[in-house]
Structure 1
Amino acid sequence: MLHQTIIRRTARVPRAEAAPGDGAPVARQMDAVLVGAGFKASRELLEHLSGLEPGAAMAVAERVVGAARAMVGDDVTHNSYFLRFPEGVPDTVEFWARCLHEALVAPRRGRKVRLPALTGGWLNLLDLPAYGRYQHTYAELLAAHDELIGSVKDRVTVLHLGATLAEETSALYRELAASPTPLGEADLELLAELALACVDEAQPEQIPVRENRAVVNSVRLAEARALIPVDTVTDVLRLACRLSGGDVTLATPTRFRSFTRRERRALLGALDQVVDGHRAKLGDVARFAGAWKRLGEGLHPHEYPRFPHAADVFAVARGERTVRTLAGRAEEAMRSGDVGKTARILTDAPGLLVRSLDRLLRTATPSEVDTVLDALESVIGSVSGRVLCSVREHLLNRSTVDPARVFTNRARRAWVAVDARMPVTGDVVERVNEIIDTELTARMPAYGRLVVDPAVLDVALPLSGKASEDGFAVLPRGSRVRLDLGNDDVLRFFTYWRQRAERTDFDLSTLLLDENFEYDGHVSWTNHHFDGVVYSGDITEAADGATEFIDVSLRKIRARCVVPQVNVYSGEGFNDVAESMFGWMIRGRAQRGAPFEPRTVRTRSEMRGSGRVALPVAFLRDEAGVWSATWLHLYLSGTPRFNRVEYNQVSAGLLARSILQRRYLTVAYLVDLSRAKAAAVTPWQPGEELAEPVTYLGLDRPDGLPAGSTAITLDRLNQLIPR
């Protein structure tokens, strides 16, 4: 299983440790199969496979092909309701009438509609035998379509040869554990799996993200290994939540399980060590007092008198002891109107000072601005690079008042409110930016020669894995990708889901917005056609999996913005179904092919969020007529049932507009900072032959980099962020 995980995650194939032989026929066969899925093997990978005995070579080839197909969603069957989609899709009302006619006038195979549904003056489409269920097999679908005609514009992703499985596992574990940014849900689970595999290895020198540290420590505690040291009481609370199968981010309450004596000793011992000699750290307890009280009921601290400082934690949570916190003192000073005093207090918590800059600066007098900036300069060296980049990005959008303010939580749930904040004056923003830029430049590594693929420059910095999804070629929220479209090219969205225990109906829809981001039209199960946009048909249950498609002829539509969305109409949500994904393809109409062709897939993302309406991405046409995709990774709350694009058009449009008009800190920013230290920064030219090792920065690693080169690609972009 780890083999395929590493291939999907890194595009590297672990080197097989097997007997030598003639595996060349297997290598050639594997490469031919990969081409059909939009992949190719690097020269080194083919040479390695060719040198293995055939049985071992075949085992490697099967893993590689399986992983490649899963990356783009080709490991499942993608049928379409309308057999010849995108051709032959009827008008919506015409289709409904035909379903009704078949049910009442010409029922097939003895199926009958429930007549009571018709006598009350209304019709339930789900009662019609022909509605919402595939009327043909996948084999019949393929037989009805010509084979795909290859194109030089079809996607080709190179798979490279890696190190041994053990070495790749260890490297990936260290990379995730030492990540400077929080990981997404899928990566946290992968970290736990890798931590178990590497439990007896030397651990990373630093695990800066506390959620990651809790995941690693939960594995180490379960395996009776020494914990990686913690330095706050909240670290221990996160660990207890993880051990109980709860939320390590502490965003949702955890129901603590019964702990063994060994676990209780470990947790209380860690608490005692954190508080001993650092009584001020008890100030963190009040923030999660309810969770601490529940945890205390299970840890029985009174049974462990050797951990007296741990008992103090629960005394504070119960209100038996009062601890005045630094944040409380800062808030008291702020309410008195003394911004300078507030800044001086917050110098004891540098991260909190930086996160409070907006509030301090927009209320400060000119003299207090100097005090705030002096405080910032005095502590900036103690603030993580991720926090500095986050504030730098925040300030990009604070010189003016936004028409709306977008809020997103860790589960990617989004909502919009009026922005009532006063802007921060432009000259103040410039002064703060200069301080931050100077500090980050000093922390940038000296790359030597840095070769940059221009395609990566508009990728938003991955400041948190929570602002993205697991998948293939998925970029962080705010990242923009230019679409290379011919006059007859079609953008095709697809969504696939498979229900777990309850009949589930997801609906793929598309919202079309005009120049002012106002409603211009939509396509969904209630409207099959609109202005060159076509829907593949509604599937209303997915016991064996179901797929819906939408075709958009971007060169022909009048809308300026296209916002695909997936609505949960009924049944299980995105977090509950067995599988769910969204992606898009690009191909010319003359290429023909089945509705789903893996080598035309540009990206595929998981859909895992707590809302009932998913907004994965938006497409925008600029003044020159060039289309680009901007990742959203947002979810709307929606309603428990019957979500439709017509009902959420206002909120979806407002969210799309806010994200599309927001300025993000991109990879280009860090590339500019790196020029001060790099020997040279040059753009990558496809096909370029490099004579000496370089540091390559791009979405994917190209074939043929010189030995000794370092590649920083999509899966490692967070490594760019200075520590």
Structure 2
Amino acid sequence: MRVPLGDGEPGTGSGVARQMDAALVGMGFKATRELLEHVGAFEPRSAMDIARMVIRTVRELVGDTVAHNAYFIRFPKDVPDTVEFWVKCMRDALVPLTIDGRVDLLQLPGYGTYQHTYEELLAAHDELIPSAKDRVTIVHLGGTVEQESARLFRDLAGSVTPLGESDLVLLAELAARTGELPETLPVRDNRAVVNSVRMAAGQPLVFVDTVTDVLRVACHASGGDVTLQERTKFRGFKRRERRVLLAALDAVIADNDGKLGDVTRFAERWKRLGERLHPHEYPQFPCAAEVFAVARGDRRFQSLAGRAEQAYRTEGVVAAASVLSDAPGMLVRSMDRLLREADPAQTEQVLELAGKSLGAVSGRVLCSVREHFANRASPDSARVFASRGRRAWVAGDNRKPLRSMVINRAIRMLDAELLGRVPACERIVIHPDVLDVAVPLSGKATEDGFAVLPRGTRTPVDGDVLRFFTYWRQRRERTDFDLSVLLLNKDFQYAGHVSWTSYDTGGAVYSGDITEAKDGATEFIDVTLDAVSARYIVPQVNIYSGEGFDQVAESMFGWMTRERGQEGAPFEPRTVRTRSDMRGSSRVALPIVFGRDDDGRWTATWTHLYLTGSVNFNRVEGHMSNTSRLARAVYEKRYLTMSYLINLLAVKAGSVTVWEPGVRLAEPVVFIGLDQPEGLPEGSEVFTRDRLNRLVPA
């Protein structure tokens, strides 16, 4: 929410600034005084260029750059009964078109395509009545484009947590523009992106300490998966690029040939890469040649994980822990398994070995393990596993229990280590809305968009009506996305659903089924919160046919809140609370879960997950069991939240205060909140939703 400084001829553009602010207010945004003064200081044409850029950008953020039409022109009013509507379509078709005796809805001329224009839809709705609960997001004035780019590059490159896919693309673009390197590149994915840029320029790789780091660079440079989850087809490399890669490999093995044990994990990829690098042509890098010898099987070398597994089977948990001490991160991540199998005497030894290794483990891993142990006191209703691509699967919790004494001992060790790493801040100001945000341990556990928060974050719902929307635009073939809602009772059992097979179910209404999206299509579902009897609401998007989420030209999901009687068009940008992209590789999207507590208050819990589903014909009825189990597991899990990190910071802070609107601060502060407020003193350091990962201890 920072607008770079503009340029142009000085003049009087105050009228343009006021018009810009009025347009922003209509979309739920508000410019700061500094931004308005900056725009107003240019002559009108230059001021208008800045204003257009700002308005276009915020419209893209909330998804307002496309026409969100609805199938039923008066939605959410006058939506017909499902079967009655189908019968009417058949009558309008004059003759029943059937397949094996069943009606093929897609062949009915009135079904699945808009029967009116977007302009006709807008004319059929009264104007939106303003509400005090409408969202207002502040837009600030930033620095120059160069300053903002450098700041962003430092934040991305120096991140202590993995970045999402789009941020990795942005990091590569920024790395190509600047020759500046941060002091450290803590995350290996980020190193690979920066190093692939350096390799292309013939510069040596930096911060490389394993052979897998070099493999990641080659994958990224070939347009493949830097996380190594998917296989990559390597491109041909120039001679200078080959020298850079082989020199890095040679240096890693020359320092410690034990690192050849990492090769076997990706042996096939190393063999394919060797075909592109021709290591035999570079006798000056003999240690690099050993990597490919191990990959081919000419030299036997057991991996650390293999040695640890062998020690576990033959000598027990303490021997396995001793082997894993050479890889502290792996040891700490294996603590649960080791402690489950240990007797009391062995437990002490395992905890002692783990305690000695904590100092060499990244803060992100420590936070992740801390969250894990906080959930080990009782069995989970189900265990949810998610890939880096956010594909989820559910399994039962069959782990042996851990004694409460062991859990508490492990948690105290982790807390002490993390406390020692947080910085001492003089003055901290906290916005209370940030406290329940899940600690962003990975950018891959979220989606791009507007006001999107990490998986596990729980936020209150402020409004009488929830309105979900999904928009998609197909690229090559006819594509049918279906927005649906699964309603669950207090035991997470089926209580109803809304979809193209059931337009109206006790307080929830569907806008109508659109079955192709050559020019883009939108579907909506309205849920009147005090009218539904369900305890949980699970919106989802199913791919019925056609292209996947990661294949269509555009794909988004979002939700709005309204008060009763607000009217307005189906899509009103200032009522949009969040909008997220959907780019997963699976066929069913489960972006969020809504739950009601015993006092009747509703909250939203982000999930950012996908179910595999079927190739075609996915419906909400077809995967209710998996969806309900997944929703329950995510909803009941205790996530590590920002309140935990803030409590650690508070121990060392000079003062901690809660932000209140209108408060004037005299000295610079460290502000932590979802969005930056107006009026912070010059020199303040700000951590908002896009920078909360910077608070994770290094």
* TM-score bracket for the superposition, by shorter chain length: over 0.9
Matches within 5 A, 1:578-589: 578-589=553-564
2:58 is matched with 68
Shifted more, 374-383 versus 524-533: the winner is 374-383
For the Cα contact (< 8 Å) 2:461–2:603, is it kept in 1?
Answer: yes
**Are residue 305 (structure 1) and residue 280 (structure 2) matched?**
no
TM-score w.r.t. the length of structure 1 is 0.95
Task: Confirm or deny: 8 A CA contact 1:25 1:50 kept in the other structure.
Answer: yes
> Deviation per CA, 1:600-624, whole angstroms, max 9, x where unpaired?
0000000011110000000000111
Matched residue, 2:253: 275
Letter of the structure 2 residue corresponding to residue 37 of structure 1: M
Does residue 318 (structure 1) correspond to residue 308 (structure 2)? The answer is: no
- Establish whether residue 419 from structure 1 lines up as the match of residue 424 from structure 2: no
Deviation at 1:590, TM superposition (A): 1.3
The range that moved more, 138-147 or 678-687, is: 678-687
The residue aligned with 1:227 is 205
Q: Name the structure 1 match of 2:593.
A: 618
Aligned pair count? Answer: 698
Deviation at 1:372, TM superposition (A): 1.2
Alignment partners' CA distance in 2, 1:684 and 1:468: 27
Alignment-mate amino acid for residue 717 of structure 1: L
SS at structure 1 position matched to 2:209: coil
Corresponding residue number in structure 2 for 1:3? none
Q: Are 2:626 and 1:648 equivalent residues in the alignment?
A: no
Alpha-carbon distance, 1:120 to partner:
4.2
Contact 2:191 2:207 in 1 (8 A): no
Q: C-alpha displacement at 1:221, in angstroms?
A: 2.2
Rounded to whole Å, the distance in 1 between the matches of 2:305 and 2:546 is 44
Aligned 1:26-65 pairs, distance under 5 A: 26-65=16-55
Against the structure 1 CA distance between its residues 119 and 132, is the aligned structure 2 distance closer, same or farther, given a 3 Å change threshold? Answer: closer
Matches of 2:85 and 2:61, distance apart in 1? 35
* Residue matched to 1:107: none
Which letter does structure 2 place at the counterpart of 1:195?
Answer: A
Name the SS of the counterpart of 1:715 in structure 2: coil
State how far apart, in whole Å, the 2-side matches of 1:314 and 1:227 are.
Answer: 19
Q: Tell me if 1:144 matches 2:124.
A: yes
**How much has 1:59 moved relative to structure 2?**
1.2
Aligned to 1:92: 82
Report the counterpart of residue 114 of structure 2 in structure 1.
134
RMSD after superposition: 1.1
The 5-angstrom pairing of residues 346-357 of structure 1 reads 346-357=324-335
Q: Distance in 1 between matches of 2:549 and 2:448?
A: 13
Alignment match, 2:418: 440
1:617 alignment partner, SS class:
strand
Residues 477-492 of structure 1 aligned to structure 2 (within 5 Å): 477-485=455-463, 489-492=464-467
Q: Percent identity?
A: 62
Instruction: Please name the residue that 1:603 is paired with.
Output: 578
Shift of 1:421: 0.7
Q: Distance in 2 between matches of 1:545 and 1:224?
A: 44
More displaced 10-residue stretch of structure 1: 121-130 or 82-91: 121-130
Q: Which residue of 2 aligns with 1:109?
A: none
SS of alignment partner, residue 336 of structure 1: helix
Conserved in 1, the CA contact under 8 Å of 2:211 and 2:259?
yes
CA distance in 2, matches of 1:304, 1:119: 66
Which residue identity is paired with 1:322? R
Contact 1:581–1:607 (CA<8 Å) still a contact in 2?
A: yes
CA distance in structure 1 between the aligned counterparts of 2:162 and 2:318, rounded to whole angstroms: 32
SS in 2 for 1:648: helix
Rounded to whole Å, the distance in 1 between the matches of 2:525 and 2:100 is: 34
- Cα deviation code 1:133-172 (max 9, x no counterpart): 0000000000000111111110000000001000000110
Task: Give 1:320's aligned amino acid.
Answer: D
Query: How far does residue 687 in structure 1 lie from its aligned partner after superposition?
Result: 2.3
Equivalence map 1:187-206=2 (5 Å)? 187-198=167-178, 200=179, 202-206=180-184
In the alignment, residue 560 of structure 1 is paired with which amino acid?
R
Q: Which deviates more, 516-525 or 443-452? A: 443-452
Matching residue of 1:633: 608
Is 218-227 or 536-545 further displaced after alignment? Answer: 218-227
Q: Which amino acid aligns with 2:120?
A: E
Q: Which letter does structure 1 place at the counterpart of 2:105?
A: L
Q: Does 1:572 align with 2:572?
A: no
**What letter matches 1:691 in structure 2?**
A
- Which of 524, 549, 556 matches 1:549? 524
TM-score (norm. length: structure 2): 0.99
Which residue is equivalent to 1:118? 98
Report the more deviating stretch, 457-466 or 420-429. 420-429
For 1:391, the equivalent position in structure 2 comes to: 369
TM-superposed deviation, 1:668:
0.4
Distance in structure 1 (CA, Å) of the matches to 2:99 and 2:346? 74
Q: Residue type of the partner of 1:20?
A: P
Deviation of the 1:119 alpha carbon: 7.2
What is the letter of the counterpart of residue 72 of structure 1?
V
Which residue type is aligned with residue 328 of structure 2?
Answer: P
The answer to whether 1:518 aligns with 2:493 is yes
2:297 partner letter: G
Counterpart Cα distance in 2 of 1:403 and 1:591? 40
Correspondences of 1:400-419 after superposition (within 5 Å): 400-419=378-397
Measure the CA separation in 2 of the matches of 1:226 and 1:256: 20
How far apart are 1:326 and its partner, in Å?
2.6
Match of 2:339 in 1: 361
What secondary structure sits across from 1:654 in the alignment? helix
Using the alignment, how far apart are the partners of 2:694 and 2:87 within structure 1? 57
Q: Equivalent residue for 1:158? A: 138
1:179 to 2:153 alignment: no
CA distance in 1, matches of 2:36, 2:669: 24
Q: Is the CA contact (8 Å cut-off) linking 2:264 and 2:303 kept in structure 1? A: no
Structure 1: how far apart are the matches of 2:7 and 2:114? 46
Determine if contact 2:650/2:656 at 8 Å carries over to the other structure. yes
C-alpha deviations, 1:344-375, integer Å up to 9, x for none? 22221111110110101111111111111111
2-structure distance, mates of 1:447, 1:296: 50
Distance 2:247 2:606 in 1: 44
Report the equivalent of 2:91.
Answer: 101
Q: Is residue 587–residue 615 contact of structure 2 (8 Å, CA) maintained in 1?
A: yes
Code of the aligned partner of 2:345? S
Cα distance in 2 for partners of 1:438, 1:37 equals 46
**555, 566, 582: which one aligns with 1:591:** 566
CA separation of 1:25/1:469 partners in 2, compared to 1, >3 Å: closer, same or farther? same
Q: What's the secondary structure of 2:364's corresponding residue?
A: helix
Q: Deviation per CA, 1:438-485: give whole Å up to 9, x if none.
A: 111111111211111111101000001111000111011000001123
Maintained 8 Å contact 1:17/1:164: no
Matched residues in 1 for 2:364 and 2:652: separation? 20
CA contact (8 A) 2:560 2:576 kept: yes
SS of the equivalent of 1:265 reads helix
Cα distance between partner residues in 1 of 2:263 and 2:199? 23
How many angstroms apart in 1 are the aligned matches of 2:269 and 2:302? 19
Q: Mark the CA change 1:275 to 1:337 in structure 2 (over 3 Å): closer, same or farther.
A: closer
Counterpart in 2 of 1:24?
A: 14
Equivalent of 2:241 in 263, 267, 280: 263
CA contact (8 A) 2:427 2:670 kept: yes
**Structure 1 residue 707, shift from structure 2 partner:** 1.3
C-alpha distance in structure 1 between counterparts of 2:135 and 2:13, whole Å: 27
The one-character-per-residue Cα deviations of 1:113-135 (angstroms, maximum 9, x if unpaired) are 7x6x4374221111111100000
Q: Secondary structure at the match of 2:455?
A: coil
Letter in 2 for 1:79: N
> Are the counterparts in 1 of residues 480 and 545 from structure 2 also a CA contact under 8 Å?
yes
CA distance in 2, matches of 1:220, 1:22: 46
Unaligned runs of 5+ in 2: none
Between the aligned partners of 1:400 and 1:572, the Cα distance in structure 2 is 41
With 93-102 and 683-692 compared, the bigger mean Cα shift is at 683-692
